[in-house]
Structure formats: structure tokens, C-alpha cells
């Protein structure tokens, strides 16, 4: 029997639904379905958790499934490389975020601050595109609402931090009166895009800085 067949057999023997198992293991229900159908395998840490939660030996879970053993051999090598790269990327992103905040507080506007902003954008999107555990962030509705609340809080804090600069940059009533409507609309849309873009990058960078170590502790 394959791992998926063994896992499904144990679940049915215990009269558990895929949703119940998913909640117990803090993964999405679709993940359980994927394991049972052989489309994917749990990572090594999750396999140990399954063994502990359901009081099953690893030998029982892995027996006769040679493709799964080969999968873990490849995964172990790949995972170590990915973890090293992720740790380095996280450290760089956190450092860039701190420097970006410091430059803002000190009101330093130079080519260096622009370089930091570009680097922060690149590193933030690199993490967003390569982080492998997003599906574990919202395995329950409560976690989903908690994550949403955290995003809104970070966005509000970043907006409050930047609001004095935004208010200063807004045109005066006399400037509005003497500026053609087309030019004013173009300036307004460009300004609004810049503000939203900056807030998005700051918020996502701060979110990754908080959630990545938190999720690592949760999986430990």
C-alpha cells in the first residue's frame, strides 16, 4: 500500500473526515485530499507529526512506498538549500525594512534611500514568490481573520507613520484652482499610486518579518 492509501485507511478507521484531520494537523483540507490521492506528500516534519498524533510508526506509514522514500531523499537535500536561502533572504529583507523605517524617521531623502526602497521591493517580492508555507497560515477561519486583522493593523500603522508627509504633499486650494483639471488628475493619480505602492511594500515586508518566524515556531 502507498502512503496515501495507508493514511486514508487510518483516517477511515478512526471515523474522521478530511476536514477534521486537516484541522488537527493545521493544514488545508485540500492538502489531506492531495496526500490521499498520491498527488503530493507531507514534508518530513509533518510526517513525524502525523506519526505522533495518530500513534503510528514511521515504518507503517512508509512501508512499500519506494517513491515516497525517494521523494524524501530529494526533499531533504532541496529543503536544506531552500532553508538556507530563505533564512538569508529573510535576514536581508528584515534589515532593509529596518533601514527603510530609519531613513523615513530621519527624513533622509537621497539616492541611498531610493536604492534601499528598490532593494526592499525586490526582496519582499522574492520572499512572496518563493516562501513555501503560505497554505499553513490560514488553516482555520480564526487564523484567516487573525491574519486579515494583522494586515489591516500594519497598513494602518504604516499609513499613520507616513501621513504627515502625505498631508504636506497635498496641493493647496490655490494650486488646485490654478491647475488644469487634466494635469491635476494626472498628478493626483500618480501621487495616489505612489502612496498605495509604498504602503503595500511596507505592509507586506512587515507581515513577512512577523509571520515567518511565528510560523516556524508553530511548526517546531
Q: What dotted CATH number matches 3-64?
A: 1.10.260.40
d(CA 162, CA 198): 10
The alpha carbon dihedral of 36, 11, 67, 58 has a sign of positive
pLDDT 10s per residue in the chain (220 long)? 678 888 888 889 888 899 998 888 888 889 999 988 888 888 777 888 888 888 878 777 776 566 666 666 666 666 677 788 888 999 999 999 999 999 988 888 888 988 999 999 999 999 888 888 788 788 788 888 999 999 999 999 999 988 887 777 666 656 556 666 666 566 667 777 878 888 999 999 999 999 998 888 876 6
d(CA 88, CA 201): 19
Triad 9, 12, 13: Cα angle to 5°: 85
Q: What is the pLDDT of residue 94?
A: 94
Q: What is the pTM of this model?
A: 0.60
Are 195 and 137 spatial neighbours (Cβ–Cβ below 8 Å)? no
Q: Where in the chain is the domain with CATH 1.10.260.40?
A: 3-64
Amino acid at each position: 500500500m502507498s502512503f496515501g492509501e495507508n493514511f486514508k485507511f487510518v483516517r477511515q478507521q478512526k471515523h474522521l473526515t478530511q476536514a477534521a484531520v486537516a484541522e488537527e494537523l493545521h493544514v488545508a483540507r485540500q492538502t489531506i485530499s492531495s496526500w490521499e490521492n498520491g498527488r503530493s506528500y507531507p514534508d518530513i516534519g509533518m510526517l513525524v507529526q502525523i506519526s505522533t498524533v495518530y500513534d503510528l510508526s514511521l515504518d507503517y506509514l512508509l512501508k512499500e512506498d519506494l517513491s515516497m522514500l525517494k521523494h524524501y531523499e530529494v526533499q531533504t537535500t532541496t529543503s536544506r538549500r531552500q532553508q538556507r536561502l530563505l533564512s538569508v533572504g529573510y535576514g536581508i529583507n528584515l534589515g532593509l525594512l529596518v533601514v527603510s523605517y530609519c531613513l523615513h524617521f530621519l527624513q533622509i531623502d537621497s539616492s541611498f534611500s531610493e536604492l534601499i526602497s528598490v532593494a526592499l521591493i525586490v526582496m519582499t517580492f522574492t520572499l512572496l514568490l518563493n516562501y513555501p508555507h503560505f497554505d499553513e497560515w490560514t488553516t482555520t477561519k480564526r487564523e484567516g481573520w487573525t491574519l486579515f486583522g494583522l494586515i489591516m493593523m500594519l497598513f494602518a500603522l504604516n499609513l499613520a507613520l507616513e501621513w504627515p508627509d502625505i498631508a504636506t504633499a497635498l496641493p493647496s486650494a490655490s494650486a488646485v484652482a490654478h491647475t488644469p483639471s487634466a494635469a491635476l488628475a494626472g498628478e493626483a493619480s500618480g501621487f495616489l499610486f505612489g502612496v498605495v505602492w509604498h504602503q503595500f511594500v511596507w505592509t507586506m515586508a512587515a507581515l513577512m518579518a512577523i509571520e515567518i518566524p511565528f510560523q516556524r515556531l508553530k511548526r517546531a
